[in-house]
Chain A
């Protein structure tokens, strides 16, 4: 089985300071709310793909995109049905319906990049340095830790389905959504609930709720890569704003 975590030296993302990556994720999670133009959102989505691609976690990305696609197709279906009864709620001709899904895709990319390229210890150190209140700090840590576990669970569920019914790919997911929900979604949801419970219990037993001072045994340093990351971030933000204002 492949390692889920990217180690420093494996690619550029792992060697960027965790604080930089956390800042990028937090900044864009707010920034994206103000982006309403489809061109700006498509640009941001493509930029985030380029940001996350060097991690080579293609399967994790594809699973995320497949889920978005499934939700998008469902929303089109329901809008069409609504349109049969009330025209103003029906399918829109422009890209309005795509906007929330582009936002979700963008955030999936940023979250994958942050969680899979930074060890949990680094994330805890950064969150502790930023002095987040415990009510935000603890759930955030569990969420970050949850993602690799969940990806691992999805892989194993996919493997179990292959054993049971043979091939099961994206095409099957789209052509047989009911089968996809039963075979993939239900066990994934059940595993997600259990993983969340197990991780929270593990965190408690490790004494996380009683943290006062945490030792940083692997301190991170700033490098030119972080400066470069901030330059690229500023460029992307400027270009997205220009696109959003319809100036191009």
Chain B
């Protein structure tokens, strides 16, 4: 169904090939996992499969790509899209409408389908992905996990024959990832050809039929999922673990740090997210803040930072009451979208010339470059470095490892541990089980009526 023959590609105005001699075949009812270090060319392969390369992104593409027997070079993107659905790494990239209902119905309308069929399809797929309650919501108000569900529902409702999923689990909770895995298995049984590009491997153990490991634009190793169980292979290619145990972190009794009492908050005209919650974050520890998608983790981080004001609640830092307006001075928050957070002329300026920090995060060689010229993984490390450079007492990181390979995840974990040892409070909003196991000391889980 998806066939690549001797594919080579370089982006416009760049001499170096980002894809080198790649041949692969994904048959009906087959799931192929493509993994490798950040920047190895995985996402480029996804863009070649769905026709964005060469129809939208130009450059020099050599070789032959066929989707459902049709040569991509002779087919328009609109036609290719009828056979292949794509889930982008950042789901917001693929939304064209402003509200969820419109997003689910839009592509059907564009195809001129009957109104009743469109309504039935929206109902079916919103039920399947449990997004019925957010059908009227603006896409800008959704959590990252909700966005991913909407994007998937939108793609699958078009009933393509092939799927390209670029980091589909990056923003999903472990429960939602498990659910996604079950859905993929069903699609596989229905005969879909599925290409998955991902760093997180554990959830694909029972799903992937074939694994392709890439480095510098080439497929250097391939085989069944068992090749990922070899630790040497994982180390060689900077991969994550092939299995993850769900560990229950034991929280130490609270001595000193950030104490939040009777926290109550609701967005305007919306039901309360928090009602009289009591939460403590211990100094010197890395605390993982977990919970289902859309439960309020990012909202809590905004409250702690002082970007949102509580309706009720008292914040105490090391025993002293702290006002909302002062929280901003004492907190650093790393948001998920890196482009919004980089303003300096050079990478070095972004961290106030702290070369030691750049070295720790393996960014020293880019010190004189403009921050916006870095790759996604490099930007992710730089915004963390900038937050640390602010020397705040509280550092909050919102999904810092989504889309990061094993090597970079380890680097970030080490740097955060060093910071925690300086008596700082490190709060990591994450669904990344591997990161929680390896790097976090404690874990808090937000539930509907409490925090455990």
Footprint of B on A, CB under 8 Å? Answer: 1-5, 7, 119-121, 145, 148, 152-153, 156-157, 159-164, 166, 182-183, 186-187, 190-191, 194, 198-217
**Using Cβ atoms and an 8 Å threshold, which residues of chain A touch B343?**
161, 164, 182-183, 186-187
**Distance of B99 from chain A, by nearest CB (Å):** 6
**Using Cβ atoms and an 8 Å threshold, which residues of chain B touch A153?**
340
Asked if A214 and B94 make an inter-chain contact with CB atoms under 8 angstroms apart, the answer reads no
In the assembled complex, B271 has its CB within 8 A of some CB on chain A:
no
**If A3-B137, A159-B307, A201-B93 touch, does A209 touch B99 (CB 8 Å cutoff)?**
no
In the assembled complex, B264 has its CB within 8 A of some CB on chain A:
no
Asked if A217 and B93 make an inter-chain contact with CB atoms under 8 angstroms apart, the answer reads no
The 5 closest A-B pairs by CB, nearest first: A210-B78, A3-B138, A213-B112, A207-B78, A198-B93
Q: Of B56, B109, B341, which is within 8 A of A204 by CB?
A: B56
Query: Which of B20-28, B191-199, B201-209, B330-338 is the interface stretch?
Result: B330-338
- Please measure, in the bound complex, the distance between the C-alpha atom of A208 and the C-alpha atom of B112, giving whole angstroms: 11
**If A4-B140, A156-B335, A199-B96 touch, does A206 touch B107 (CB 8 Å cutoff)?**
yes
Asked if B56 and A201 make an inter-chain contact with CB atoms under 8 angstroms apart, the answer reads yes
Asked if A214 and B109 make an inter-chain contact with CB atoms under 8 angstroms apart, the answer reads yes
**Distance of B279 from chain A, by nearest CB (Å):** 20
Asked if A4 and B138 make an inter-chain contact with CB atoms under 8 angstroms apart, the answer reads yes
- Please measure, in the bound complex, the distance between the C-alpha atom of A216 and the C-alpha atom of B137, giving whole angstroms: 20
**Distance of A196 from chain B, by nearest CB (Å):** 12
In the assembled complex, B256 has its CB within 8 A of some CB on chain A:
no
In the assembled complex, B322 has its CB within 8 A of some CB on chain A:
no
In the assembled complex, B77 has its CB within 8 A of some CB on chain A:
yes
Asked if B339 and A217 make an inter-chain contact with CB atoms under 8 angstroms apart, the answer reads no
Query: Count of B residues near A, CB < 8 Å?
Result: 58
**Distance of A212 from chain B, by nearest CB (Å):** 7
A210's nearest neighbour on chain B, judged by CB, is B78
In the assembled complex, B79 has its CB within 8 A of some CB on chain A:
yes
Residue of A153, A190, A191, A216 with highest tally of chain B CB at under 10 A: A190
**Using Cβ atoms and an 8 Å threshold, which residues of chain A touch B106?**
120-121, 206
Q: Mark B367-383, 1 if CB is under 8 A from A, else 0.
A: 00000100000000000
Q: Of A145, A210, A211, which is within 8 A of B96 by CB?
A: A145
- Please measure, in the bound complex, the distance between the C-alpha atom of A118 and the C-alpha atom of B118, giving whole angstroms: 20
A120's nearest neighbour on chain B, judged by CB, is B97
**Using Cβ atoms and an 8 Å threshold, which residues of chain A touch B128?**
none
A157's nearest neighbour on chain B, judged by CB, is B340
**Using Cβ atoms and an 8 Å threshold, which residues of chain B touch A163?**
305, 307, 328, 331-333, 335, 341
In the assembled complex, B86 has its CB within 8 A of some CB on chain A:
yes
A-B contact pairs, 8 of them (CB 8 A): A3-B137, A4-B98, A119-B98, A119-B102, A162-B328, A210-B76, A210-B110, A214-B110
**Distance of B346 from chain A, by nearest CB (Å):** 12
Asked if A210 and B79 make an inter-chain contact with CB atoms under 8 angstroms apart, the answer reads yes
A213's nearest neighbour on chain B, judged by CB, is B112
B136's nearest neighbour on chain A, judged by CB, is A7
